[in-house]
Structure 1
Amino acid sequence: MLRHTRRSPHGPLRPGLNLRRDLLADGLTDAELRGLRRSGVLSTVRPGAYLHGSGPDDAAACHLLEIRAALPCLGVDTVISHTSAAVVHGLPLWAVRLDRVHATRSRASGARRSGVVHLHAAVLLPDEVTVVGGVPVTSIARTIADLGRELPFEVALVPADGALFRKVVTPDALAAAVERGAHRPRNGAARRVVAFADARAESPGETRSRVAIRRAGLPAPVLQHPVDGVRCDFGWEEHRTVAEFDGRIKYGRCLRPGQDAGDAVFEEKLREDALRDRGLQVVRWIWAELDSFDAPAARLRRAFARG
């Protein structure tokens, strides 16, 4: 005797990303997909692409899902590029929108933009393309050069500094990538980004601080300035002044096993007292002061005068 069993609507679901076309081919209906989304079994990554379960809170992780969802819709000569490539490479980003997947088609024309994909058209040489986690993507050097042409100086400098700090690219490779695009619009902007990029900037906050210091007309500091075994974010030896950028995550990031944030703050106070005992001026600023650097700049000028 034959028995008819009711198929579970969860049966064809795969862990992670699920594409509508695959789920329909496996026997689910659009009505069942709507029900799975309403119940929270599926969350929407983009139209036609769903995640089994809830999506991540991190913007970069969400964008990586959007990238993987877009890949099947892109042509064979198309690779992930620009800010999306920076996400694939794990580079730091600041003040960039991740509302569209950026990709480049290796041809002279045909750029277009939709609600979910920004398709660029530019010639890509073989060594400017790599594969990361199964995703075809522009190389780190080409990615930084593209961002330098597309983004404001300070915004583009964050991934450039980050790539150098992580030692995933060299200054010479960045310079070469920019020079390859000498004929492209705004290549001078990319050249300025690469020329100012510095491997000693350990965080976006330090990168933005470097830009703020320059815009304030202050002398260029030494980054990761050593003082008798103590390393400071910025130093001006001629002015006997050091400075620290205090990102809110800094103390948490530097905690040792068994140490809490209060211990780290106390150790930082002892460290600052030791610097002052050496006759040094110590200046600090926080993330909120980077948009308008007037107050930290004034503190630095007073410190220089005292030093």
Structure 2
Amino acid sequence: MDEIQRRRDVLTQGYTDHDIRQLYRGPGWRRLGHGCYVEQVGFDNRDSAGKHRILIESVLPTLTEDAIVSHQSAAVLYELPLWATALDLVHVTRDRPNGGRIRRASKIHCAPISDGVVEIDGWRTTSPARTVVDLARTLPFEQAVVVGDAAVRMLGITASELALELEFANRRNGISQARRTISFLDGRSESVGESRSRVMFKRHGIPVPAQQGEVRSATGEFLGRVDFYDESAGVVGEFDGQVKYGRLLKRGQAPGDAVFKEKLREDAIRDTGLRMVRWTWHDLTGDSAIHRWQHAIHEPRPTPRATITPAPLPDAPRPQIRPWPIQPHHS
């Protein structure tokens, strides 16, 4: 059970402060903040995003009404993937000229708020585009690309929406960094690993290959879809994450069957003369994958008997969010 227990409510149920201390000092409860607790077992069974949601629920009621969920906390509410991003503090923004500070469980940003405030799970939250721009200003490049790519893909954020938020944040800290990050975002990246792969290419000064290509034989037979490709060089690339084959599994299909099917797909693509380069999580922090990619690009080979075309992408569903009227508070 993940229900948040607040001291004022627990005391009305016959508990004493001594009882409460015994519970959170032992294995029973976890203290989330002043006078706020949750069952330890249920909390421990959640992933980092799930734990942060509990933290949001515990912290928001203790803040003033003008606090708007923002930054990585907003990303969690939008169910966006975050990589190497701290989730120990709930981030909120207030429409005030000053007064930003860090508390035990929250970080309060003070900045002008545009019209892009929405409701997510009952909480006032920065809009998808504002959230991406805030993170692009405040997170390192790679972390911001990961969440930004996902936001473009999953939430259907448009270039014009991002441009408007960049203009609105024109004089804020980190705006130059944000512009560089936003210009690099690509909703064709379908995973954290693919986003980080693009950053890997950029970091080594290599042109980022096209993404999500459909490979067909000379006779037009569909052979498979690849993560990255350079058709002019006859090279395709695949990022192999730990869940790669899990995503490929159909109902009743064993992992071994999916791996075998993937092997057949790769063999069919290679038989056309295309060169395939694979890399894993470990390769993203080194240069071995880049060396193999460059070697494949420059290796003399006959022209492949295949064509690669951009794969059609499904329309990104707009999130079911409701605009929330703003009542700015200045002090």
Q: Same fold (TM over 0.5)?
A: yes
SS of alignment partner, residue 31 of structure 2: strand
Query: Pick from 30, 33, 36: which aligns with 2:20?
Result: 33
Query: Pick from 227, 230, 247: which aligns with 1:253?
Result: 247
Q: Give the Cα–Cα distance (whole angstroms) in 1 for the partners of residues 277 and 186 of structure 2.
A: 22
**For residues 15 and 93 of structure 1, do their structure 2 counterparts lie closer, same or farther at Cα, with a shift above 3 Å needed?**
closer
How many residues are paired up?
A: 292
Residue in structure 1 matched with residue 90 of structure 2 by the alignment: 101
1:305 equivalent to 2:298? Answer: yes
Per-residue deviation, residues 207-248 of structure 1 (Å, max 9, x unmatched) = 000011122222221100121232100000011000000000
Residue in structure 1 matched with residue 33 of structure 2 by the alignment: 46
Between 1:242-251 and 1:110-119, the stretch displaced more is 110-119
Q: Give the Cα–Cα distance (whole angstroms) in 1 for the partners of residues 2 and 187 of structure 2.
A: 38
Per-residue deviation, residues 121-155 of structure 1 (Å, max 9, x unmatched) = 00112x22111111221111111110111011111
Query: Pick from 73, 84, 91: which aligns with 2:62?
Result: 73
1:102-117 equivalences under 5 Å are 102-117=91-106
Q: Which structure is richer in relative contact order (CA contacts within 8 A, separation 6 or more)?
A: 2
Is the 2:146–2:195 contact (alpha carbons within 8 Å) kept by the matching residues of 1? Answer: yes
Q: Give the Cα–Cα distance (whole angstroms) in 1 for the partners of residues 40 and 208 of structure 2.
A: 49
Shift of residue 49, structure 1, vs aligned partner: 1.7
SS of alignment partner, residue 290 of structure 1: helix
Shift of residue 25, structure 1, vs aligned partner: 4.0
Query: Pick from 119, 129, 135: which aligns with 1:147?
Result: 135
Residue in structure 2 matched with residue 18 of structure 1 by the alignment: 5
Is the 1:213–1:220 contact (alpha carbons within 8 Å) kept by the matching residues of 2? Answer: yes
1:283 equivalent to 2:277? Answer: yes
Q: Give the Cα–Cα distance (whole angstroms) in 1 for the partners of residues 94 and 31 of structure 2.
A: 26
Residue in structure 2 matched with residue 190 of structure 1 by the alignment: 178
Between 1:143-152 and 1:14-23, the stretch displaced more is 14-23
Shift of residue 40, structure 1, vs aligned partner: 4.5
For structure 1, list consecutive stretches of 5 or more residues without a partner in the other structure.
1-13
Is the 2:128–2:155 contact (alpha carbons within 8 Å) kept by the matching residues of 1? Answer: no
Residue in structure 2 matched with residue 82 of structure 1 by the alignment: 71
**For residues 97 and 153 of structure 1, do their structure 2 counterparts lie closer, same or farther at Cα, with a shift above 3 Å needed?**
same
Q: Which amino acid is 1:18 matched to?
A: Q
**For residues 186 and 43 of structure 1, do their structure 2 counterparts lie closer, same or farther at Cα, with a shift above 3 Å needed?**
closer
Per-residue deviation, residues 28-56 of structure 1 (Å, max 9, x unmatched) = 21122234446654333334222246213
Q: Give the Cα–Cα distance (whole angstroms) in 2 for the partners of residues 283 and 134 of structure 1.
A: 46
Residue in structure 2 matched with residue 161 of structure 1 by the alignment: 149
Shift of residue 76, structure 1, vs aligned partner: 0.9
Q: Give the Cα–Cα distance (whole angstroms) in 2 for the partners of residues 212 and 41 of structure 1.
A: 44
Between 1:18-27 and 1:148-157, the stretch displaced more is 18-27
**For residues 266 and 131 of structure 1, do their structure 2 counterparts lie closer, same or farther at Cα, with a shift above 3 Å needed?**
same
Percent of paired sites with the same residue: 43
Q: Give the Cα–Cα distance (whole angstroms) in 1 for the partners of residues 118 and 175 of structure 2.
A: 22
**For residues 117 and 280 of structure 1, do their structure 2 counterparts lie closer, same or farther at Cα, with a shift above 3 Å needed?**
same
SS of alignment partner, residue 173 of structure 2: coil
For structure 2, list consecutive stretches of 5 or more residues without a partner in the other structure.
217-221, 302-331
Residue in structure 1 matched with residue 318 of structure 2 by the alignment: none
Q: Give the Cα–Cα distance (whole angstroms) in 2 for the partners of residues 281 and 140 of structure 1.
A: 39
**For residues 53 and 215 of structure 1, do their structure 2 counterparts lie closer, same or farther at Cα, with a shift above 3 Å needed?**
closer
TM-score using structure 1 length: 0.90
Between 1:96-105 and 1:20-29, the stretch displaced more is 20-29
**For residues 111 and 15 of structure 1, do their structure 2 counterparts lie closer, same or farther at Cα, with a shift above 3 Å needed?**
closer
Per-residue deviation, residues 162-187 of structure 1 (Å, max 9, x unmatched) = 01111342222122211211111221
